[in-house]
Structure 1
Amino acid sequence: MDFFRLRTLRELSRRETMAAVADALGISSSAVSQQIAQLEDEVGIALVERRGRGVTLTPAGRRLVVHADRIFAFVEEAKTDIAELQNIVAGDLRIAAQPSAASSFIPAAMRQLANDHPHLGMVMTTMGPADGVAALRSWQADIVVADDISFDPHTLQGPFDTLFLCRDQLFVLLPAGHRLESEPVIELGQLRDEHWALDVASSAYSMAIRQACRDIGFEPVINGFSDSFEVVFALVEAGCSISVMPGLALRDFGGSLVVKPLSPAVYRNIYAITRHGEGRNPKIAAVLDALVPAVA
């Protein structure tokens, strides 16, 4: 069985449409169909069946994906063993990070790694934790940086390792001259009559904020949704909205906003997630070692 065709089937089991697989693998939808058809010829049994606009795997297809998972795991373990023996920090590495991490400490880590390991080619992509973990499962990413507001890393299904990086506090953002500007800390209930702007780069994060409001008896009125910190900052600065943002997103912010801690204090933990055992790989170990001082 062709290795790339197995990978194509494995992606199809997770993404369910030919177009999504094509985007993940960088090929056309017709090429995806061709790879699956050729794999079916190789094994002599149908592996997928069409359901409306999508496709679903047959029992044979699902069974083959289980074997493919093990095959890919063994291949990655072999590559890690060889890299460990070579003890060379080189090659390509892909890191998926949620925006607050991507805009704060990861650039510093990348700069340090470029100085220390010039043969390491590191590429960062911003994505939410769920998409990041999916990329990790499908070998589209080597390291994921995510928080535990969006998901609980200790409940990850599959062979993963987690490294704690930091604890990040959440803050209230107010425009200058706001009625609560003189308050040392702000309770969530004091914001019930405000208009809110929320960062939706991670939908789970914005849903967690809205749920926290519901838990104390009110539904926040949202007048701004954006996947850009700058847009949220602009809405608050103009006096249109207030917001709740993680400290990492504010670390290098020099705008004229009022920043206040929530009471009681709310925190999230930031983790680096890798496939199990790949921390032995010198290039992955080097990146993990660079992330810890960068986040400090």
Structure 2
Amino acid sequence: MEISRLRALRELSTRQTMAAVADALFLTPSAVSQQIAQLEEEAGIKLTERQGRGVRLTTAGEVLVAHVERLLGVLEEAKSDLAQLKREIAGKIRVAAFPTVAAALLPHVIKTLGVSYPFLEIVLEEMEPADGLAALGSWRADIAFVDDLTFRLRREDKTVEQVPLLEDVLYALLPCGHRYADRATVSMGELKNEAWALDSASSFYAEFIVNLCRRAGYEPRINAECRGFEILGAMVAAGCSVSVIPGLRLSHTPSDVRAVKLRPEMKRRISVAYRRGERKHPAVQVFVSQLLASAKELALRPVPQLPA
């Protein structure tokens, strides 16, 4: 049984459509269907069956995927052992990171490692936590950043290891002239009658903010869905909207806004994730080590104070 076909089956076990598997593996849906058909022919038993518009695994398919999980873990450990024997930190690390942590941490990490390990290439791709974790599972990424607000590990618990990095406090972002702009804290309930700008580039984070409003007893009136922070910040600065942003964004906010801590305090926990079988890979180890050092340094810096 070819590894590529086994990986396709593993992806199908979670993504449930040929199109979704094709996107993850950079193939066409017909190529994925062909791989699954060839795998079923090799196995001599039906591994999948139609379910509505999607596909689900048969009992035989689920049994095979369980073996595939262990097999891929062993292959990852073998790669790590060989890399250790080379005694050289080299090769490519593909990093999937969402914008806030990417901007706050990764430039310094990549620069520092580039000086210490000139043969180590780090390639960064912006992805939201769920997409980054999916990329990790499909070998499109070697490192992924996740947070506990927008994603929870499920099946990947067996194959992915997480290392906590830092806690990021959330703030209400208000125009300078807002009646709560000079307060030390503000509750979500006090923002009930405001218009809201949301960063729709992250559907998970936008949904989290909407749910915060709902828990405070109201449906937010959204007047801006922004694919990124630039327009969101401009809407707040102009007095058109309010929003809630992570503390890591404060150093990149316009000068004519105010960040007020939420009451009760709310924070997200950010972690770095990698495949469990690669925990001893030298390149992964030095990357995570430098990341932890940079995160510790960042946590010791004072919170940027926005002008009143």
The one-letter amino acid paired with 1:177 is G
RMSD, aligned α-carbons: 2.2
Using the aligned pairs only, state the percent identity: 45
Deviation of the 1:288 alpha carbon: 0.8
Asked if residue 263 in structure 1 is aligned to residue 263 in structure 2, the reply is yes
Q: Give the C-alpha shift of residue 196 in structure 1.
A: 0.8
Aligned pair 1:94/2:94, yes or no? yes
**Separation of aligned partners in 2, 1:100 and 1:121:** 22
Task: Return 236-245 or 105-114, whichever deviates more.
Answer: 105-114
Cα offset for 1:269?
1.5
The answer (yes or no) to whether the contact 2:149–2:268 under 8 Å persists in 1 is yes
- Whole-Å separation in 1 of the counterparts to 2:158 and 2:200: 27
- What amino acid does structure 2 have at the position aligned with 1:231? I
Contact 2:164 2:269 in 1 (8 A): yes
Matches within 5 A, 1:2-41: 2-41=2-41
What one-letter code is carried by the residue in structure 1 that aligns with 2:284? I
Is there any run of 5+ residues in structure 1 with no aligned partner, and where?
none
Counterpart of 1:110 in structure 2 is 110
Q: How big is the shift at 1:75?
A: 0.4
Count of residue correspondences: 296
Report Cα offsets for 1:90-109 as digits up to 9, x if no partner: 11212222221122211221
Using the TM superposition, give the Cα deviation of residue 156 of structure 1 relative to its aligned residue in structure 2, in angstroms. Answer: 6.3
Tell me by how many angstroms 1:31 deviates.
Answer: 1.6
**CA distance in structure 1 between the aligned counterparts of 2:55 and 2:151, rounded to whole angstroms:** 28
Tell me the residue number matched to 1:171: 171
Moved more, 227-236 or 48-57: 48-57
Gap change, CA 1:56 and 1:199, over 3 Å in 2: same
Corresponding residue number in structure 1 for 2:183: 183
Query: Counterpart amino acid of 2:291?
Result: L
Q: Is there any run of 5+ residues in structure 2 with no aligned partner, and where?
A: 299-308
Provide closer, same or farther for how the CA distance between residues 65 and 171 of structure 1 changes in structure 2, counting only shifts above 3 A.
same
- Does the Cα contact within 8 Å between 2:163 and 2:271 map onto a contact in 1? yes
CA 154–64 in structure 1, closer or farther in 2 if over 3 Å, else same: closer
Residue 148 of structure 2 corresponds to: 148
Partner of 1:238: 238
Deviation string 1:102-134 (CA, Å, 9 cap, x unpaired) is 222112212222222222222222223223223
Q: Which moved more, 1:32-41 or 1:153-162?
A: 153-162
1:278 equivalent in structure 2: 278
* 2: CA distance, partners of 1:287 / 1:9: 31
Report if the CA contact (8 A) 1:129-1:202 is conserved.
no
Distance of 1:227 and 1:79 partners within structure 2: 39
**Residue 304 of structure 2 corresponds to which residue in structure 1?**
none
TM-score (norm 1): 0.91
Q: Provide the residue aligned with 1:78 in structure 2.
A: 78
Q: Distance in 2 between matches of 1:156 and 1:18?
A: 20
Deviates more, 1:61-70 or 1:132-141: 132-141
- Deviation by residue 1:61-96 (Cα, 9 ceiling, x = unmatched): 222111111111110011111212223211121222
Task: Give the conservation status (yes or no) of the 8 Å contact 2:129–2:145.
Answer: yes
TM-score when normalising by structure 2: 0.87
The 3 A distance-change label for structure 1 pair 165 and 211 is same
**Whole-Å separation in 2 of the counterparts to 1:43 and 1:257:** 62
Whether the aligned pair in 2 keeps the contact of 1:104 and 1:252 (CA below 8 Å) is no
State the SS of the aligned residue for 1:183.
coil
Mean Cα displacement is larger for which, 128-137 or 28-37? 128-137
Q: Which amino acid aligns with 2:282?
A: P
Aligned to 1:264, the other structure's residue is in SS state coil
